[in-house]
Chains A and B, each alone.
Chain A
């Protein structure tokens, strides 16, 4: 587990972000077509969602390491001032304690929004998530549940995070019936999905793409709105190949789509949004149309969630597939520091895979 000093490193992660775009307004995104909303970055959008959650439900709580002063990424800024130290508070530096506490709080009929400072540090809480939160309803025959629990954790590459400030551990949690796993791609998505997660009657792990906290800016409606869970979204329509991703990786994939278009390849891009339980139907419908599938994520390729998507789609669309399913993902190494640009599933890796899949 990280020392406090290593965690403080997190505060410096954000301002130095560069060279990275994000997948913002997409065709068909109703939120984006409405004009004249203030522009917010992803961090502020999260902050706004937490603000609304606390404001609309007096039984809601926000807590975690360093949450009180605003959090190392500033996502919880101002919440303690407005809603008081009893509802927004620091916890001891102990992830299993944070999640265990959240389960108990949620089981008493509260909305518990727990922050794990980095997804890399969620593992001490793995037992509480897998053996406790996920099975709480089932094992009690629905007498008890901790559905009010939402665990927020910043995840993913950030340019210089090394082993312990960069990981994408979503696949571990996608193997756990009883929890939901949600990852937003942009500020307006983050706000609507986070509010849905907080109010959903099931425990949820919500991974936030920390590279986009400051970098991703778009118009975000000020009002209280929720986006549906377990519904994927086609954010770019195309006919030659389907690309599936989530979170920050979508922006890289979108760039690859634009480059492929120059070569006359029409790509359909899908944001899965909810990884568990996931929307197979939307991906299947798209692959039935294009006959080709590429999945991309930052996490190591072996045992990644891309493998699950690939297997499921092959089961459903075997005869329709024109080429093997491609996976462009992180390498099967620990997340490296100096070698990060080599490790990552970059645009050109994706572009190459698009071309070879289309020309298979």
Chain B
């Protein structure tokens, strides 16, 4: 029996006679993995997952599409055509590059600022517009606010507003993949604010204990609405939490598409091969307001926003790299932007003209079948509508 070791239910721990508290910080902050410098110059890096021309152009195209879609949908809200919107400005690389590193068999549990992931998977601009207008071809049947996308055929779970609730759910979904011996993982996205939720703790701890193949992808964009990360936590960001849960983790430059791509590729390999969760913290910045209901100049400086918008723009940085490789030029840039712009404007017009879902959709899908109380309430409501048709919107077919 080794008397220098305490053998307790949690394993063997060495004794020490030196009383030493572990410091609340490590000497050096965890470094941030990057591959492209600010000028789009590729730094020597060690990664088997190379991005070829076809992939790079698709990634760049989707980043631009996301940018333009966000800008025009945002304007549409300002014009009162849709009720709400939320952009991913500044986080285009995170959205597109992480999606590009996954396969379509991987299950995505989004927070709400990951529309680019769905775009990458083939959800069309028209489908985005349909959801934002809540028309009858919106898969969500007009029941949720704009940006609450979901698509079964794209393995993209429907967005819900509560923060962090998707994290323990991701573990359950990943456990199912594990039991089915699928060569796939779950990717769960969340922000820096979300890490303060109990569900963050629940999700990470369950994933570690259940050995579930899930990638926890944190978009640390500095702000949770108006709350700065300094008021959110005092740890060295999110990445250091991994070890406390027994989860392998990495910090990556979220505005470097190549770095995000390689990190997620590698995380996916490990998650599936080793059947374990991986935590990725991507450092980035929310260039846009939190949503159309927010004015972020009330709590942060214009200079700060401008710096991230211009000097650290992830789309520009990636473009420089793609251009250096001679895969892209100004002519294609102009064509692409015009094309996407027209596509988005057309999609908005089409979605706007489309009628709303029928009244019966108000009552369906609460349960798999309609219970008697809902039958009763539906007929009562229809009677009321007959008596007071002017009380109700005309664009909802009764």
Q: Is the CB of B175 within 8 A of A280?
A: no
Q: Given the complex, which residues of A lie within 8 Å of B209, measured CB to CB?
A: 91-92
Residue of A nearest to B167 (CB): A100
Instruction: Scan B71-85; emit 1 where CB is below 8 A from any A CB, else 0.
Output: 000000000000000
Q: Is the CB of A124 within 8 A of B198?
A: yes
Instruction: Scan A132-158; emit 1 where CB is below 8 A from any B CB, else 0.
Output: 100111111111110100000000000
Q: Is the CB of B157 within 8 A of A132?
A: no
B387 within 8 A of A: no
Q: Is the CB of B175 within 8 A of A105?
A: yes
A177 within 8 A of B: yes
Give the docked Cα–Cα distance between A344 and B368 (Å).
37
| Interface members, chain A 103-118 (any B CB < 8 Å) | 103-110, 112
Instruction: Scan B54-91; emit 1 where CB is below 8 A from any A CB, else 0.
Output: 00000000000000000000000000000000000000
Q: Is the CB of A108 within 8 A of B177?
A: yes
Instruction: Scan B140-180; emit 1 where CB is below 8 A from any A CB, else 0.
Output: 11011000101110000110101001011111111111010
| Interface members, chain A 73-95 (any B CB < 8 Å) | 86, 91-92, 94
Q: Is the CB of B150 within 8 A of A92?
A: no
Q: Is the CB of A140 within 8 A of B172?
A: no
Q: Would A108 and B173 be within 8 Å (CB), given that A128-B168, A139-B140, A141-B139 are in contact?
A: yes
Q: Would A141 and B202 be within 8 Å (CB), given that A100-B165, A101-B171 are in contact?
A: no
Q: Is the CB of B366 within 8 A of A177?
A: yes
Q: Is the CB of A132 within 8 A of B367?
A: no
Q: Given the complex, which residues of A lie within 8 Å of B140, measured CB to CB?
A: 139-141, 143
Residue of B nearest to A103 (CB): B169
Minimum CB–CB distance from B183 to chain A (whole Å) comes to 15
Residue of A nearest to B209 (CB): A92
B372 within 8 A of A: yes
Q: Given the complex, which residues of B lie within 8 Å of A99, measured CB to CB?
A: 168
Give the docked Cα–Cα distance between A96 and B172 (Å).
12
Partner of A107, one of B160, B173, B372: B173
A281 within 8 A of B: yes
A245 within 8 A of B: no
| Interface members, chain B 370-386 (any A CB < 8 Å) | 371-374
B138 within 8 A of A: yes
A102 within 8 A of B: yes
Q: Would A139 and B148 be within 8 Å (CB), given that A103-B169, A230-B371 are in contact?
A: yes
Minimum CB–CB distance from B154 to chain A (whole Å) comes to 10
Partner of B175, one of A97, A104, A131, A230: A104
Q: Would A143 and B139 be within 8 Å (CB), given that A124-B198, A178-B367 are in contact?
A: yes
| Interface members, chain B 78-126 (any A CB < 8 Å) | 107, 109
Partner of A100, one of B143, B150, B171: B171
Q: Given the complex, which residues of B lie within 8 Å of A178, measured CB to CB?
A: 366-367
Give the docked Cα–Cα distance between A201 and B367 (Å).
8
Q: Given the complex, which residues of B lie within 8 Å of A177, measured CB to CB?
A: 366
Give the docked Cα–Cα distance between A308 and B107 (Å).
41
Give the docked Cα–Cα distance between A137 and B107 (Å).
17
Give the docked Cα–Cα distance between A211 and B251 (Å).
52
Q: Is the CB of A97 within 8 A of B203?
A: yes
Q: Given the complex, which residues of B lie within 8 Å of A277, measured CB to CB?
A: 367, 371-374
A55 within 8 A of B: no
- Among B167, B176, B186, B210, chain A packs the most CB atoms within 10 A around the CB of B176
Q: Given the complex, which residues of B lie within 8 Å of A141, measured CB to CB?
A: 138-141, 143, 150, 365
Q: Given the complex, which residues of B lie within 8 Å of A201, measured CB to CB?
A: 368
Q: Given the complex, which residues of B lie within 8 Å of A107, measured CB to CB?
A: 157, 169, 172-173
A202 within 8 A of B: yes
B199 within 8 A of A: yes
Instruction: Scan B295-338; emit 1 where CB is below 8 A from any A CB, else 0.
Output: 00000000000000000000000000000000000000000000
A127 within 8 A of B: yes
Give the docked Cα–Cα distance between A177 and B365 (Å).
10
Q: Given the complex, which residues of B lie within 8 Å of A127, measured CB to CB?
A: 162, 165, 199
Give the docked Cα–Cα distance between A94 and B198 (Å).
9
Q: Is the CB of B173 within 8 A of A140?
A: no
| Interface members, chain A 141-196 (any B CB < 8 Å) | 141-145, 147, 177-178, 180
Residue of A nearest to B201 (CB): A94
The list of the 10 closest CB pairs from A to B, nearest first, reads A104-B172, A100-B168, A97-B202, A108-B176, A104-B169, A105-B172, A277-B371, A140-B158, A104-B173, A101-B172
Taking A108-B173, A144-B150 as known contacts, 7 extra A-B pairs with beta carbons closer than 8 A to each other, sorted by chain A number, are: A92-B206, A103-B172, A104-B174, A105-B175, A138-B143, A139-B158, A145-B368
Q: List, sorted by A's number, 20 A–B pairs whose CB atoms are closer than 8 Å.
A: A86-B179, A92-B209, A94-B201, A94-B202, A96-B168, A96-B198, A100-B167, A101-B206, A101-B210, A103-B168, A103-B169, A104-B109, A107-B173, A109-B176, A110-B176, A131-B165, A137-B365, A137-B366, A137-B368, A143-B140
Which residues of B pack against A, CB within 8 Å?
Answer: 107, 109, 138-141, 143-144, 148, 150-152, 157-158, 160, 162, 165, 167-177, 179, 186, 198-199, 201-203, 205-206, 209-210, 364-368, 371-374
